[in-house]
Structure formats: C-alpha cells, structure tokens
Amino acid sequence: MRIASRRGWTHAMVGLAALLWAQTAAAHLQQGEANGFLTGFQHPITGLDHVLAMVAVGLWGAQLGAPAIWVLPVAFPLVMAMGGMFGLMGVPVPGVEFGIAASAILLGAAVMFEVRAPLFVTAFLVGVFAIFHGYAHGTELPPGQSAVLYSMGFVIATGCLHALGIGIGAVHRWTWGQKLVRAAGGVVAVGGVLFLWKALA
Amino acid sequence: MKPLSRQPLQTCVSVSLVAVLCSGPAEAHLNSTGMGPIYDGLMHFLMSPEDVVPALALALLAGLRGVAYGRRASFTLPVAWLVGSLVGLTAAATTGSAFLSSLWFLLLGGLLVADAKLSLRALTALAVLLGLVHGYWNGTGMEPSALAIVALVGLVSGVFVLVVLAAALVVPLRAQWTRIAVRVAGSWIAASGLLMLGWSFRGR
C-alpha cells in the first residue's frame, strides 16, 4: 500500500512540474490553416454518396486481392483530383449527380456479386467514377481558407475511407465474412438507387 | 496500516505555491514576442505545407531506394535549402508560386507512386533543385539581418530532421504492404498537387 502511495505521489509531482514548466501554446495559427485542413477532411466524410462509393472501392479491392487492393486506392485519388481540377478550370462535365449515383449502384453491385473483372477494366471503371466525385466535391473551398490544406484534407479523408473499406473487407477470408461483404455491397447499391432517385426528382 | 506522513505533502504544496507565485509572464502572443529566431525559422518550415510536403516526399522517395539515397538526400537537401535561402535574402522580395509548388507536389508524388528507380545522381539533382527553389522563396520573405541567418539555421535544421526521420522510417521497410503504403502516400501528395494546380488556374 505504501509503495503504491509513493508511486502516486511521484506521478502527481512529475505531472505538476510538467504543468509548471509548460511552454507557450502557439495556439494562434495563420488564418484558415486548421480550418482549411479540417474542412477538406470533413467534406468527403459528411457526404453519404461519397462515403458509400469510397468504402465500396475498398471493399471491392479487398474482394479482388492483390494487385487490385492497392491499385484502386492509388489510382482513385489521382483521377479524383483530376476531376476536381476539371471543375476548378471550368471544364464542363455533364451529369455529375447521375455519375455519382451510378458509381454507388455499380460499385455496390460489383461487390454484391463479387465481380472479378480484369484489372484494367476495374481500374478504368473506378477511375471514371472518380472523376465525377472529384468534380462535385473537390471544388468547394470555402472563402478565406488554405487551398493547399483543404486539398490535402480532402484527399487524405478519401484515402481513409478506402482504408475503411479495405479494413471491413478483411473479413472476406471467412465464409461468413464473404456474405457480410456482399451484403455491404448491396447496401451501397441501394444507397445508389436512392441517390439516383433524388437526382431524377 | 501506518498513516502516511503529511510532511512531503506540505513540502510539495509549498514548493508548488512558490513556483506558481514566481512564474514569469506567459507571453502567449507569439506575434509580438516570437519564439526566438531559431524556433521561428523551424516553425516557419513546419507550418508551411508547401515546404514540408515536397521535402517529405523526397525523403520517402529516397528511403524507398535505400540507405545511400537516404543519406544523400539528408545532407544535400538542407545544404541546397540553406544556399537558396542565403541567395534569396539578398534578392528582391517575392513570394512562392502556387503553380510551381503544385508542380513539385505532382512531380515528387508521381515519382513516389511509380516507385521510380532513379539513379543516385538524379535524386541528388532533384534534392538540389528542390532545396534551391524553396530556400530561395523562404529567403526572399525575410529581412536580411543577423537574426535572419539564425532563423535560417533553425529552418534548415527542421529540413534535416524531417528528411532524416522520414527516410530512416522507410529504408528498413521490407514487407510489400508497407512499401505500398508509402506509395499510397505519394498518390495522396500527387492528388493534392493536382487540386492545387486547379486552384492556381482558378486564381486562389
């Protein structure tokens, strides 16, 4: 008991000393710095259409295994950013909302039916959909915020959603996991149908 | 159970009270006081993603290629950065170009994604060019004075530490998935560069 008490006192004293010697907080960032990153990071994860499609990309990659499991997450951000660049340059891309809805439907269906297409077909399909997502989401920088940090936050959040999909897809090695992943694909496809309904309405 | 002596507690409380009473001014507003030139230079680098990300990408690229590349980048980049900064100190004030920054993101991120088999000479040339250009931009933003030189020492130290740590982290990676993770980071850097290119075309 006594030893435990002494340890507690030591910890308390070290903590108190650390508090007393605390350095300056450097809390005043340049205008828009933290906001730019957080806004960019929040943007993809607060849009359900984007979340479903990105997770589906990860799930499909996990089902297909190597090399698709890493080719898709590498290719998607690059092509998505190209779509964002088209949007920023004012290049017209018709039917963006339909493209996003179609991405959820087709990617969800691909996961649900465990479609095993050749790698270039898979990468092409994912790349085409990535353009729509980048075009719609990558161009919405709020005024006064850092474009660099917004872009980085946006891309990193998208990559994290892919990683989430791959993480969920890791259960694919078990029989029950394969069913679960296919069911998740079904949920994504149903979500896509709802987005398409909204786009048509 | 023997009761714990109150003597240490009283001593500690008294010492703490004295320390609190004798504390100096907080100087929380760094805009007026700064952190000292060394830390100002260091923080300037660490809080500028336009500088940090290309340096990080180069370090990761060097790390993927091996120990010799990592060592070369660790020393070449900071030295070139310092030379560029010193040249920039004497030049007319100018700011870095968003367009050129985005090109650096694209180039280094793209090389990282492709796991490009660069020669040691090519990597050295890239490091020298990157250091000179970014150092020049940093230097032109400073007043030429003795303090600026000290700040540059802090800044270049930051570049050195970042490159050494990042390259040292990547060099021992052998498992395929870990090397792919580094390449995915390159994809994110290149993608950010593409978006930045778009912003620069739009005029943001």
A133: nearest Cα among A87, A70, A184, A172? A87
CA distance A128 to A41: 22
Asked if A28's CB is within 8 angstroms of B30's CB, the reply is: yes
Q: Is the Cβ pair B187, A74 closer than 8 Å?
A: yes
CB B60 within 8 A of CB B166: yes
- Read off the amino acid at residue A110: A
The position carrying tokens 């395929």 is: B176
Please give the single-letter amino acid code of residue A139: T
Q: Which of B189, B192, B201, B204 is the mutation pick for testing A, counting most A CBs within 10 A?
A: B192
Q: What predicted TM-score, i.e. pTM, was given to this entire model?
A: 0.78
pLDDT digits (tens, 9 = 90+) for B132-153: 999 998 888 887 788 888 889 9
Q: Which residues of A130-154 are buried (b: 16+ CB within 10 A; e: fewer)?
A: bbbbbbbbbbebeeebbbbbbbbbb
Six token digits for residue B28: 């929380």
pLDDT band at B190 (very low <50, low <70, confident <90, very high): very high
What does the domain layout of chain A look like in residue ranges? Answer: 40-200
Distance from the Cα of B37 to chain A's closest Cα (Å) equals: 15
Task: Calculate the alpha carbon distances from B12 to A14, A17, B9, B19 in Å.
Answer: 11, 10, 5, 10
CA torsion sign for B66, B71, B76, B78 is positive
- Residues of A (172-191) whose Cβ lies below 8 Å from B: none
- Supply the pLDDT for residue B65: 94
- Between these two residues, A151 and B27, which has the higher pLDDT value? A151
Question: Chain-wide mean pLDDT for chain B?
Answer: 87
Residue B133 to chain A, least CA–CA distance (Å)? 18
DSSP A80-100: HHHHHHHHHHT---S-HHHHH
B62 pLDDT above the threshold of 90: yes
> For the purposes of burial, counting CB atoms within 10 Å of the CB of A94, is it exposed (0-12), middle (13-18) or buried (19 or more)?
exposed
CB atoms within 10 A of CB B177: 11
Give CA–CA dist A172/B163, Å, rounded.
38
- pLDDT of chain A along its 201 residues, tens only? 455 567 777 777 777 777 666 655 544 445 555 567 888 888 888 888 888 888 888 888 888 888 888 888 888 888 888 888 888 888 888 888 888 889 899 999 998 888 888 888 888 888 888 888 888 876 676 666 677 888 888 889 988 888 888 888 888 888 888 889 899 989 999 998 998 898 887
Q: How far apart are CA B89 and CA B143, in angstroms?
A: 7
Residue B129's H or E segment, with its range, is helix B120-140
| Cβ–Cβ < 8 Å for B63, B70 | yes
